[in-house]
Amino acid sequence: MIRMDPVSMDPVVLRQAFSCFPSGVTAVCAMIGDTPVGMAASSFTSVSVDPPLVSVCVQDTSATWPRLRSLPRLGLSVLAEEHDTACLTLSKKVGDRFDGVEWERSASGAVFVHSSAVWLECSLYRELPAGDHGIALLEIDALRADPDTPPLVFHRSRFRRLAS
Ligand SMILES: Cc1cc2nc3c(=O)[nH]c(=O)nc-3n(C[C@H](O)[C@H](O)[C@H](O)COP(=O)(O)O)c2cc1C
């Protein structure tokens, strides 16, 4: 008989289980006035082709998401394997999140991390509450993909690279 641990026992155990699922990492960024604002998010998922939708899950405690969510356009960058330091910078609580991060903006104010594997220019389609996170569905308005750029991989709280 298989023995399993009750989920309520310890959130650390749950987080550890979640961390076994490898993911890419994205940056969700946009201009607010003359300043780029953004955050790293590994919860990115492709959702729908028609309409073209992706999602990210954002923790309710985020101070950055409430600033981003009302903007007309958001830039979503699928980070490349060279972006491990940039990813940490883009998630830090204090200081300049774009320090040492090369970025570009679109005319609509979406901000993209330079040399990423994919750029998606998005607008917020819908938001769904989900426990201590919100699921933000984003509709893709424009994109640029470089399939030959190796992505950054996040697994068990560490950055990894795909084997070539
Ligand atoms: C690799 C990595 C992945 C992350 N993924 C998410 C995520 O999917 N959703 C989220 O809300 N925060 C995620 N974060 C945390 C945010 O980047 C950020 O640190 C957090 O939102 C706190 O900052 P804020 O209060 O300015 O939003 C991630 C951080 C790292 C380093």
What was the pLDDT predicted at 11?
Answer: 86
What is the DSSP code (8-state) at residue 5?
A: -
What was the pLDDT predicted at 164?
Answer: 78
In the chain, the domains with their CATH numbers are 24-144 (2.30.110.10)
With bands split at pLDDT 50, 70 and 90, how would you rate the model's confidence at 88?
very high
Residue 4 pLDDT greater than 90, yes or no = no
Distance of CA 104 to the CA centre of its chain: 17
Nearest-angstrom CA–CA distance, 51 and 41: 22
What was the pLDDT predicted at 43?
Answer: 98
With bands split at pLDDT 50, 70 and 90, how would you rate the model's confidence at 67?
very high
Residue 69 pLDDT greater than 80, yes or no = yes
Q: In angstroms, what is the span from residue 9 Cα to ligand 1's centroid?
A: 25
Q: What average pLDDT does the segment 137-149 reach?
A: 98
Whether residue 89 has its Cβ less than 6 Å from ligand 1: no
Whether residue 43 has its Cβ less than 6 Å from ligand 1: yes
Q: What is the mean pLDDT of the chain?
A: 96
Residue 8 pLDDT greater than 80, yes or no = no
What was the pLDDT predicted at 10?
Answer: 78
CA-proximal residue: ligand 1, atom 21 (nearest)? 62
With bands split at pLDDT 50, 70 and 90, how would you rate the model's confidence at 18?
very high
Q: What average pLDDT does the segment 29-41 reach?
A: 98
What was the pLDDT predicted at 85?
Answer: 98
If one residue of 25, 58, 59 were mutated to test the ligand 1 pocket, choosing by the most ligand atoms within 8 A of its CB, it would be 59
Whether residue 153 has its Cβ less than 6 Å from ligand 1: no
Q: How many CA atoms lie within 13 A of 22 on its CB side?
A: 9
Whether residue 79 has its Cβ less than 6 Å from ligand 1: no
Q: In angstroms, what is the span from residue 26 Cα to ligand 1's centroid?
A: 10
Nearest-angstrom CA–CA distance, 49 and 54: 9
- At position 55, the amino acid (one-letter code) is S
Whether residue 154 has its Cβ less than 6 Å from ligand 1: yes
Residue 130 pLDDT greater than 80, yes or no = yes
Q: What average pLDDT does the segment 106-123 reach?
A: 98
